[in-house]
Structure 1
Amino acid sequence: MHADELGLTLSTCEANFYNLLLLHGPLSPGLLGQLTDVASSGTTTGVIDRLEKAGYVERARSTEDRRKVIVSLNPDRADPHDVERTGRLWKVLDHFDETQLAVIADFLSKLAKVESQAATPPDFPYAQSD
């Protein structure tokens, strides 16, 4: 049974991992953590574990280096609308150079952090501060 069949939704971090895999294709756990600013390899592993258990991703040994693990989306779980949306996104991204994309990524990261903080009650025990 999949997470959506149980009425579960992805956390922000899980959704970020999913979207990065959708955009970039298979990635290493380390790169997923780096791209999402997840500092702990344990946290990265936990997110991948949850996505794998819910059927969203698969882990496989790298064909180039058997010591490395590659995480990829489970093709049976890919939403066709997500694939179409990603294609449209790539067409937009093609119009920006690396410097512009870095500014856009920085803006979106800061926006997500501010919105997350605004949505977190001040007395929440795990609230992050700057």
Structure 2
Amino acid sequence: GRPVLLNFIFTTCSSICPLTSRTLEEFQDKLGPEAARVHLMSISIDPEQDTPSRLAEYARKFHAGPGWQYYTGTLAASLAAQRAFDVYRGEKMSHTPVTLMRAAPGKPWLRIEGFVTPDELVDDYRNLLTAP
């Protein structure tokens, strides 16, 4: 399995989500060809509005490479994912910026609360890969 970097977004968000999505865009740019090794995942917290076509449009806006997928599904599945990663905050406007990354299946998740720069994210990623 390859490293995973995960965040939660919704396409009509005008504050946190564009900033965290821009950070992931710059993260993949900074990694260059190495970005193909990382599975970037953005999971919608508003699946009722975020259709696959709306997410595809959002992905284009942030120049998502082939390794960056956007996920939507049922409301129940979205809530289950949010709860599994302890990011559920009730109303979608109450969500906070959280990025999670894992070096490989079975390895622990690194939880990054708040906003980070693309450089900090690259540093965290490289440190995670070299951790025992």
TM-score over 0.5 for the pair: no
What's the TM-score once normalised by structure 1's chain length? Answer: 0.33
Larger radius of gyration: 1
Highest RCO, 1 vs 2 (Cα 8 Å, sep ≥ 6): 2
Greater helix share, structure number: 1
Greater strand share, structure number: 2
What's the TM-score once normalised by structure 2's chain length? Answer: 0.33
